[in-house]
A and B are shown apart, each in its own frame.
Chain A
């Protein structure tokens, strides 16, 4: 049995189709990433899976429990961390943890070894009110609270948004640690660079899934030669490269522009053709998940 099974799930808010006919599975104990920009429907999917909203059509199950029929049982076996910090700011770190443990009918001691690697980092501040914590500490507290009832499935909606780079990296290490306890984790993020931390990822945009594979598999699916180009005037270069022979796409990518090419493209020819351009450089580059995302999005 898969930990999460989603079949043709759709949800609209009025005329806005937030989720269109989405289907995928997450295996037991997998760390599965939903990668996509804002408005891709990630949060809607989380709200559906946590039974906060009901789907228009399609079905989904967590641990074999249907999100509509068995919504009550689902709430006991799912841990959810919303994108926005939503613990009680006027309760202390300790009180928040105890409160959520008690709501699930467990004690902090029972689950302590599970949350300890995370909670220990904020334990020195256990008497501090949650509202007074820093962003990274809030996130750790939220994760501790989501884990306190030993959920089988952990749903994390953009947990690293608005958190500094060091804390983000630490957070992914914590998730890797949780995987060892056999917890299935579904995590969403708008940051492409975090995708490689997942076992498998789904690229999504505008309520649809563009592709699902391991991070490596996704990258390997990029079958066109990819080059990075650079010049003094990057903006003019973008226009020029887009109209060059053999170039199917060109887009800004950090300090370079990436050009996607077909078989007829020759980098030497490209340099010769545009030698009048000041400071033109070209180099072959390895495709990243972002390149694949852009390619899938334009198809």
Chain B
């Protein structure tokens, strides 16, 4: 055997051993296949920010055609449900306190009459904002409906209809489907969970069982050893992204608007980054518990600050700057742009560069901090 192919052979031996161990594990192979499928099947159904079933109480002090028109418009809206039509504000307020009603619309007395002759008293809208999203979104829907009714009522008197002067178009996600926004995020969460945890647990497992010591007394170079921990999970990660894309296509009819290659390139870089990161954590940990807790801390930060669930633009400025050092942020950018907008690799080159740099940094760190000698 020549010296030149020795590291390659050693790598292959370690690599095969890693896969053999994964296969022998009674749980891991099932997890790797079932986890992406289940997450992609179930999570998009429940992770929705669309606000539906806003319960509205109408306090009708006017009892006129105008107020009846208002009631029928509220009933007709697909987001709003008219649960109470009363003439007593305290009654509606009580329902709001009990949580049966989300928004109260009060139409003042003599509204229709005043509208015809002069400026009427104002319509008041009260929302329960305990759930801030539902409160503000519900309020928006009600305002729209009320405004629509008012325009109609005025329109019957004056010919110009204001709303016809505006056209609205939602680019890239025409139906404003929250699922299409979440599916790329779910794929990233899958990478973080599978490719972030498994390599770390594999190394710490060897530490706990003492086998790492047995490896350390052999002439295996540390880079070879680290690579043998990295590459299997990289392959698994590529498999996971494939499964996730197939499920997104078959179940939700969502296919990338951009090229599949752009997605795989991003995934390949991101998995390397997150695996290198997890190996670095493992090098500093002695036990599984320690690794898990440290990883959870970082994963929390990744999930909440990378624009996975909430837009980065609405974070405070210091937080926006901080997200620049979080690798998942760039992956979120890449995956959403390619999936929804069809952006080409060339236009996203800064994000790809950022991922490449972080992959190099974390894997170098993993190789350097892996000590064969204490």
Contacts and interface: CB of A to CB of B under 8 A. Distances in A.
B24 A91 contact: yes
Interface in A75-130: 75-76, 78, 80, 82, 84-91, 95, 99-100, 102-105, 129
Interface stretch (B98-106, B145-153, B207-215, B332-340): B207-215
Contacts of A90: 21, 24-25
A75 B213 CA distance: 12
B353 interface: no
Interface stretch (A46-54, A212-220, A226-234, A259-267): A46-54
Interface string B336-374: 000000000000000000000000000000000000111
A95 B20 contact: yes
A86 B24 contact: no
Contacts of B214: 80, 82, 86-87, 100, 145
Contact of A102 (B9, B24, B216, B217): B9
A86 B373 contact: no
Nearest to B210: A86
Interface residues of A, number: 29
Interface range for B: 20 to 34
B218 interface: yes
B10 interface: yes
A246 to B, nearest CB: 51
Interface in B52-103: none
Contact of A105 (B9, B209, B217): B9
A198 to B, nearest CB: 23
B1 interface: yes
Most chain A beta-carbon neighbours within 10 Å: one of B17, B220, B374: B17
Interface string A52-74: 11100000000000000001100
A84 B210 contact: yes
A108 to B, nearest CB: 13
Main secondary structure of the interface of A (DSSP, over half): loop
Contacts of B20: 91, 95
A91 B352 CA distance: 39
Contacts of A53: 373-374
Contacts of A76: 219
Given A88-B21, A90-B25, A103-B13, A80 B6 contact: no
Given A103-B220, A104-B219, A105-B1, A91 B17 contact: yes
A184 B374 CA distance: 26
A291 B168 CA distance: 97
Given A75-B218, A82-B214, A88-B21, A52 B373 contact: yes
Contacts of B374: 52-54
B211 A86 contact: yes
A86 B14 CA distance: 16
Contacts of A91: 17, 20-21, 24
Contact of A82 (B14, B24, B213, B218): B213
Contacts of A87: 211, 214
Contacts of A71: 373
A71 B10 CA distance: 19
Interface of B: 1, 6, 9-10, 13-14, 17, 20-21, 24-25, 209-211, 213-220, 372-374
Interface of A: 50-54, 71-72, 75-76, 78, 80, 82, 84-91, 95, 99-100, 102-105, 129, 145
9 contacts: A51-B373, A53-B373, A82-B214, A85-B210, A86-B214, A102-B10, A103-B13, A103-B218, A145-B214
Q: Which 7 A-B pairs have the closest CB atoms?
A: A86-B210, A102-B13, A90-B24, A103-B218, A75-B219, A80-B217, A53-B374
